Amino acid sequence: MAMTLIVPFASANAARPDTRAMTCGQAQSLVQRYGAVVMTTGQYTYFRFVADRGFCDAWETLQPKVAPTRDNPRCIVGYACVEPLFAPWDD
């Protein structure tokens, strides 16, 4: 007799912290505490914020990333890992 395990799943965005429900300081603290956090930033958007380059690939650089928070529509929550426009080894 086969048994089926039914596990209720929460929606994906219910598990993600929402920057719009936090103050700017709370969102920044969350990134600093965990180093890398995926947070909801809008009704249909989310983003991975990092605290430093240690959470990026070796060739990536940091770019400040803003998101709306409860008290600041353009809070610098953390950084984004981005590929540089030109690789340092390019001539």
Q: What is the pLDDT of residue 73?
A: 98
Query: Of 17-26, 49-58, 59-68, 78-87, which range is least confident?
Result: 78-87
Position 14, amino acid: A
Phi and psi angles of residue 25, each rounded to the nearest 5 degrees, phi first: -60, -40
Listed in sequence order, the DSSP H helices in 1-91 are 12-15, 24-34
More confident residue, 9 or 16: 16
Distance (Å) of CA 75 to CA 23, 25, 43, 62, 90: 9, 9, 17, 16, 34
